C-alpha cells in the first residue's frame, strides 16, 4: 500500500502565501489603497496599531495595516517585530502633557473649569446612524468652524483638587523605571512597569476589565477628572550634549480618573488617581487603562484584592494581544504527537477500566 504523508511542506506554504497576497490586493480592477490614504482616512486604526505595536510611526503603522489586510492585531504584531530590531539610542525625557497643544479636553467633574471644555473631533453626541452619503465618493466636508486657540497651558482637574489637599499625592521617584521591553515581568510589579504593560495592552481586554470594575468586580467609584488629547513635544537629552533637544511632536491621549478613597487609620479620606496614556487619539483605551491602573493599586491603598482587575498577575500576563494571539493561534499547529500519547493513555485506561 502506497502511503504518502500529508504533512504539507514548502510548496504548500508558498502557494498559501501567494494566495494571501492575491487576497490582500483584492480585485485588481479597483485602485490600490495607498499608505497615505490609510494614514489619513483610517487614522484611528493607525493610532491603535501604534499603541498596541508600541511604536510611534504613522507610516509604518499604515503599512502594517495594509499588509495585515486590516487585521489590527496582526498589524500591531508586524510593527512590534519591526520595532524590536531597531537600535536603541536612549530614552526620551518624560512627556510634559501639562504643555500639550490641546485638540480635545473634557472633564466630567466640573461644568466650568479654567481652560474650558474643548470637545474636539469626537464621536460623542453623534447619532450612530449609518451615513449613506459617505457611501458615495467624492464628498469633501465643509470646513469646521474655527474657534479661538485654546490657552497654551490648561490646568489639570487633579491639580485643582490637589491644591485643596483632596488628591492623594503620587509617589515621586527619580529612579530609572524598569523597561518591560528589556526585562521580563517580575512580581510584584511596580506601577511604572504596570503602566507600561497597560499602555501597550489590548484595548478590548482592558475595556472589559475596566468595565468589570464598574459592575462590582473591584469596587471602583470613578469620575473622569480629565481627558486630554493633543500634541506633545518629545525631547531627548544626548549624554554628550548635556541639554535636551526637541525630536518632534506626537499626538497622545491622557486620561486621569478620580476615585473615591475612604482613607485608612493613617490617611484621611481623599481622591486617588487612575492614569491612562496612549499614543494617538485613543480615548476608550486611555479610560480603560486608567480604570485598570486604579484597580491594580488596591494593595498599596490597603484594599482587598478580590476581583480580576485587581490581580496583577492576571491582568499583566494576559493584556498583551501579541502574546495572547500567538498562543491561542498556536493551537492550529499540529499536535499529533501529544494527541497520540493521549489516545494511547485513554485506550489503556479504558482497557483497564473494563477489566481486560
Listed residue (301, 183, 262) closest to 192, CA to CA: 183
Q: Which of 12, 20, 44, 93 binds another protein (CB under 8 A)?
A: 12
Q: Site map for another protein, 62-101, x if CB under 8 A?
A: ---------------x--xx-xxx-xx-------------
Nearer CB in complex with another protein: 217/317: 317
| Smallest distance from another protein to CB 206, Å | 19
The residue from 95, 99, 108, 185 that contacts another protein (CB under 8 A) is: 185
Residue 78 CA to residue 56 CA, distance in Å, equals 13
CB closer to another protein, 125 vs 336: 336
Q: Is 34 in the site for another protein (CB under 8 A)?
A: no
d(CA 205, CA 308): 12
- Cβ-based neighbours of 334, under 8 Å, separated by 6 or more: 7
Choose, by CB under 8 A, the member of 136, 186, 241, 245 that binds another protein: 186
Residue list 328-347, contact with another protein (CB under 8 A): 328-330, 333-338, 340-345
Residue choice 124, 137, 164, 183 for contact with another protein (CB under 8 A): 183
Residue 203 contacts residue 289 (beta carbons within 8 Å):
no
238 near another protein (CB under 8 A): no
Is residue 240 involved in binding another protein (CB under 8 A)? no
Q: How far is the CB of 191 from another protein (least distance, A)?
A: 17
Burial of 105 (0-12, 13-18, 19+ CB in 10 A): buried
Does the protein bind another protein through residue 318 (CB under 8 A)?
no
How distant, in Å, are the alpha carbons of 185, 318, 321, 324, 335 from that of 328? 20, 12, 10, 6, 14
Residue 96, C-beta contacts closer than 8 angstroms, at least 6 positions apart: 232, 233
Nearer to another protein, 12 or 44 (CB): 12
CA 192 – CA 293 distance, rounded (Å)? 10
Number of residues this chain uses to bind another protein (CB under 8 A): 50
190 binding another protein? (CB under 8 A): no
- 274 CB-contact burial (10 Å; exposed 0-12 / middle 13-18 / buried 19+): buried
CA distance 199 to 191: 12
Q: Which residues bind another protein (CB under 8 A)?
A: 1, 3, 5, 7-10, 12-13, 77, 80-81, 83-85, 87-88, 181-188, 313, 317, 322-323, 325-330, 333-338, 340-345, 348-349, 352
Amino acid at each position: 500500500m502506497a502511503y504518502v504523508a500529508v504533512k504539507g511542506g514548502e510548496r504548500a506554504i508558498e502557494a498559501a502565501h501567494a494566495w494571501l497576497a492575491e487576497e490582500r490586493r483584492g480585485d485588481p480592477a479597483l485602485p490600490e489603497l495607498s499608505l497615505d490614504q490609510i494614514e489619513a482616512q483610517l487614522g484611528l486604526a493607525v493610532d491603535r496599531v501604534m499603541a498596541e505595536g508600541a511604536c510611534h510611526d504613522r507610516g509604518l503603522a499604515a503599512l502594517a495595516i495594509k499588509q495585515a489586510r486590516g487585521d489590527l492585531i496582526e498589524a500591531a504584531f508586524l510593527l512590534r517585530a519591526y520595532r524590536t530590531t531597531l537600535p536603541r539610542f536612549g530614552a526620551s525625557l518624560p512627556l510634559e502633557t501639562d504643555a500639550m497643544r490641546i485638540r480635545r479636553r473634557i472633564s466630567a467633574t466640573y461644568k466650568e473649569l479654567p481652560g474650558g471644555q474643548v470637545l474636539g473631533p469626537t464621536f460623542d453626541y453623534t447619532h450612530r446612524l449609518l451615513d449613506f452619503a459617505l457611501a458615495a465618493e467624492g464628498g469633501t466636508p465643509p470646513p469646521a468652524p474655527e474657534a479661538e486657540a485654546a490657552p497654551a497651558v490648561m490646568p489639570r482637574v487633579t491639580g485643582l483638587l490637589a491644591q485643596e489637599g483632596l488628591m492623594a499625592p503620587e509617589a515621586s521617584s527619580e529612579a530609572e523605571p524598569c523597561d518591560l521591553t528589556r526585562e521580563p515581568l517580575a512580581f510584584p510589579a511596580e506601577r511604572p512597569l504596570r503602566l507600561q504593560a497597560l499602555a501597550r495592552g489590548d484595548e478590548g481586554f482592558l475595556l472589559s476589565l475596566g468595565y468589570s470594575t464598574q459592575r462590582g468586580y473591584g469596587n471602583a467609584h470613578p469620575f473622569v477628572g480629565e481627558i486630554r488629547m493633543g500634541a506633545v513635544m518629545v525631547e531627548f537629552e544626548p549624554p554628550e550634549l548635556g541639554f535636551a533637544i526637541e525630536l518632534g511632536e506626537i499626538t497622545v491621549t491622557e486620561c486621569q480618573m478620580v476615585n473615591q478613597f475612604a482613607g485608612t487609620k493613617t490617611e484621611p479620606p481623599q481622591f486617588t488617581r487612575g492614569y491612562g496614556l496612549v499614543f494617538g487619539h485613543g480615548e476608550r483605551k486611555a479610560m480603560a487603562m486608567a480604570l485598570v491602573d486604579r484597580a491594580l493599586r488596591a494593595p498599596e491603598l490597603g484594599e482587598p484584592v478580590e476581583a480580576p482587575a485587581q490581580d496583577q498577575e492576571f491582568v499583566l500576563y494576559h493584556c498583551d494581544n501579541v502574546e495572547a494571539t500567538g498562543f491561542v493561534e498556536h493551537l492550529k499547529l499540529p499536535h499529533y504527537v501529544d494527541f497520540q500519547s493521549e489516545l494511547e493513555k485513554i485506550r489503556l485506561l479504558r482497557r483497564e477500566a473494563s477489566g481486560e
